[in-house]
Structure 1
Amino acid sequence: MTWVVRWRDPGGSQRKKAFTRLVEAKRFAAAVEADMARGQYVDASNPITVVDYARQWAASRPHRPTTARRTAGLIENHIASTRLGRRRLTELKPSEVQGWASDRATVLAPATVRSLVGLLRSVYGAAVLDRIVPSSPVVRISLPRVDRPRVVPLTVVEVRALAEAMPARYRAMVITQAGLGLRIGELLALRVDDVDFLRRTVRIEYQFTSGSKVRSEPKTPRSRRTIPAPRVVLQSLAEHLAAHPAGADGTVFTTTAGTPLGHMYYGHQLFRRAVAAAGLPAGTTSHDLRHHFASLLLAAGESIIAVAERLGHEDASLILSTYGHLMPDSEDRTRRAVDAAWDDGAFSCAPDVPHGLRSPFSH
């Protein structure tokens, strides 16, 4: 005998499911009724696949163009092309997610695997809110450890050598990026109006995203900032503008045709050639000029909060995790702080204790 449970889902559609045992039918009916009452009902027969829902999720997100392209690339290359992507969203198990993550770890860097799993976690988080699945299978996933190499910042001598190795028209770009800690997109979008020679500041208002020469908002709200401009930067900018006037739209750094530079031209052609000519490590990129800037501030005793503000970082803790080993040694400050508190004459030492080893608790 077959027992059939019939019910209407929250959308009003008629549903049914057959069972060979009455006890199972009753148990299922009670579970459906309870889920409906709690507002947690999900349709287990929903045919949507993981990749189809991931695409819908990505399309609905307010991503910046660069983030949207990166997200789409992860979905198409590492979800759509795998068995996991073809699975129904409601059927995926944690063990399948773990197998998928382990497989991706064989072809991707550890940090990228973490980003990929984080993306899938967000997709399933949205699916839970949409009541397509009752819970997320992206739980307790073992991931490869990310070993971040310590930052070895460029020295002033190396930055000077790098600037000298650049074509004369673009030398000020190296000095400006190193002296203000700019992202490459912020450097390329810099306008004359952003530079206040009188107040000695540079205002970051825009950036060029990769592949675009249209100004857009900076990476994050904190990326819009005013940076104190050091003398070396202002002098370099003044000399540059005297020799190479700004573009028609006020862009400071332009090609010989007067148009803004692109990421690829500056970062992959000009910069790489200069790195080789200056004898710097082959992996050196324009981002290393931001590391140089941060390391100089930390060496001078600037707080991590101030460094984060200058760099336009949302989270000051990233400064500590990235550059903590470059901060001035605090051992002597620790000793002085404790000695100053104890060296107030409140304690006397027993005469039989050798000098230098006296106990502060001996009277």
Structure 2
Amino acid sequence: MASIEPRQSRRNGKPVKVYDVRFRDPDGRQRKRTFGKKGEADRFASTVEADKLRGQYVDHSDRTTVAEYARTWAAARPHRASTAERVSSQIEVHIAGTRLGGRRLADVRPSEVQAWATDRARVLAPSTLRAQVRLLRSIYSSAVLDRLVASSPVVRVQLPSDDRDRVVPLTVEQVQALTDAMPARTRTMVLTQAGLGLRIGELLALRVQDVDFLRRTARVEFQIAPRTKERTEPKTPRSRRTVPLPQVVADALAKHIATYPPGADGSLFTTGIGTVYGREHYGATFTAAVKRAGLPAGTTSHDLRHHYASVLLAAGESVVAVAERLGHENATLVLKTYGHLMPDSEDRTRRAVDEAWCAITVPSLQSVAR
């Protein structure tokens, strides 16, 4: 139990009476808080014991700032190297580089978090801002578990609406025009990405041993890391997947292999000197081809994934199947991104209701109407 001990002290050269509250924290360490009034000491002693019983004890002596704790939190996460670098950059720029970063972790109020978010909205896109708020919320959730704060101040944060333009996928004709505009050595790369729905890193890492021409499947096992240009594990566990190999892609790959033999490690797409394409190199080639093909400005290789998803949805594939083909964790992102592309939704709705009611006779329906 907390104990209160009065003692003499000095303030501005004059003797004053103060009260030391001594207690043990949940980890058994001896703690002390000093108050100038007996009533304040009594209230704190009662509160600290109640907080320990409720599991809501907070170390009020901790001076850790938001930025300091954010760095510690990030260092303890089991992040991939690329993710760790991205999170570290977000913390340094958007937390440590702001007024919020220098605030003591336990002193931050919800109004300060709102002010921080409003300030960041001036320099971040709505979707990026939402990701930054999620990061701060995760940091504070961990701080609550570490008993450094009683509750998270990252609550009810008002954010700008995220009214992103709907995806307008490339047509087959546009993809063909893009393929024709690419240098001969990279034409099959466009068709492969459009026909398998691969991410750019997955495309660059594809090996001949990943393609099973007999079973007509392609296995996504690796991706080329953006900075190191080395093969690493895919983005997420779900990203490691087997994708059906369409005949048009199989034929293109067979011709490509005959013309440009795979690299020593089996890499299907290599430069003239036998190295795997870097993202910057291939990206520059792709951008130049986009312009030559007359495609919309800003078209990137990621638009070939949009094309792939749109083709599957137009053919009646379920959103769950499309999510699996794309390597998404669930179908939610597919619905949010491509829901407007699902064909004949109005006709399907009418047909579904009509077919459900087909067993009801017309006279019965007329009697209901009367």
After TM superposition, the score normalised by the length of structure 2 is 0.91
Partner of 1:164: 180
Alignment match, 1:86: 102
Paired with 1:129 and 1:362, the residues of 2 have a C-alpha distance of 61
1:253 aligns with 2:269: yes
Bigger Cα displacement from structure 2, 292-301 vs 196-205: 196-205
Paired position in structure 2 for 1:277: 292
- What percent of counterpart residues are identical? 65
CA distance in 1 between partners of 2:118 and 2:46 (Å): 38
Secondary structure of the equivalent of 2:265?
A: coil
Say yes or no: does 1:32 pair with 2:48: yes
What is the SS of the residue equivalent to 1:41?
Answer: coil
1:335 aligns with 2:342: no
Displacement of 1:21 after TM fit? 2.5
CA contact 1:48–1:89 (8 Å) conserved in 2: yes
Give the aligned residue type for 1:78. H
Residue type at the aligned position of 1:43:
D
Q: Determine the structure 1 residue equivalent to 2:329.
A: 314
Q: Deviations over 1:70-121 (max 9, x none)?
A: 1111111111111110111111111111111111111111111111111111
Paired letter, 1:278: A
What is the CA deviation profile of residues 30-82 of structure 1, one whole-angstrom value per residue up to 9, with x for unaligned ones?
A: 11122233443221121111111100110110112221111111111111111
User: 1:253-298: CA deviations, max 9, x gaps?
Assistant: 001110111111112x111111111111111010000000000000
* Unmatched tracts of structure 1, length 5 or more: 350-357
State the one-letter code of the partner of 1:284.
T
Tell me what 2:320 maps to.
305
**Alignment partner for residue 296 of structure 1, among 296, 302, 311?**
311
1:216 — aligned with what?
232
For residues 159 and 33 of structure 1, do their structure 2 counterparts lie closer, same or farther at Cα, with a shift above 3 Å needed?
same
| 2:368 is the alignment partner of 1:361 | yes
Q: Equivalents in 1 of 2:369, 2:87: separation in Å?
A: 67
Report if the CA contact (8 A) 1:348-1:362 is conserved: no
Q: Unaligned regions of 5+ residues in structure 2, if any?
A: 1-16
1:326 maps onto 2:341 in alignment: yes
Where does residue 61 of structure 2 map in the other structure?
45
Shift of 1:8: 3.1
In 1, Cα distance between equivalents of 2:25 and 2:79? 33
CA distance in 2, matches of 1:331, 1:83: 51
Q: Residues 334, 98 of structure 1: CA spacing in aligned structure 2 closer, same or farther, 3 A cutoff?
A: closer
Corresponding position of 2:196: 180
Q: Deviations over 1:117-172 (max 9, x none)?
A: 11111111111111111111111111111112100000011101111111100000
Q: Give CA deviations for 1:208-254 in whole Å, capped at 9, x if unaligned.
A: 12123221111112211111111110111111111111000000000
Q: Distance in 2 between matches of 1:235 and 1:215?
A: 26
CA distance in 2, matches of 1:308, 1:262: 27
- Which of 114, 124, 130 pairs up with 2:140? 124
Report the counterpart of residue 208 of structure 2 in structure 1: 192
What is the RMSD of the two structures over their aligned residues, measured on CA atoms? Answer: 1.7
Map of 2:87 onto structure 1:
71
2: distance between equivalents of 1:339 and 1:332?
11
Give deviations 1:301-322, integer Å, cap 9, x for gaps. 1111111111111111211111
Q: CA deviation at 1:344?
A: 4.5
Deviations 1:338-360 (Å, cap 9, x if unpaired)? 334444573338xxxxxxxx936
Distance in 1 of aligned mates of 2:367 and 2:327: 48
Match of 2:244 among 211, 222, 228: 228
Which residue of 2 is the match for residue 352 of structure 1? Answer: none
Question: 2:5 is matched with which residue?
Answer: none
User: Alpha-carbon deviation of 1:362?
Assistant: 6.5
How many pairs are equivalent? 354
Q: Are the equivalent residues in 2 in contact too, given 1:212–1:262 (CA < 8 A)? A: no
**Counterpart-to-counterpart distance in 2, 1:67 and 1:101:** 22
CA–CA distance in structure 2, aligned partners of residues 157 and 38 of structure 1: 65
Counterpart in the other structure of 1:353: none
SS of residue in 1 equivalent to 2:250:
helix
Structure 1 moving runs of 4+ over 6 Å: none
1:100 aligns with: 116
**2: CA distance between counterparts of 1:343 and 1:255?**
61
Question: What CA distance in whole angstroms lies between the structure 1 residues aligned with 2:159 and 2:342?
Answer: 30
Q: Distance in 1 between matches of 2:276 and 2:304?
A: 20
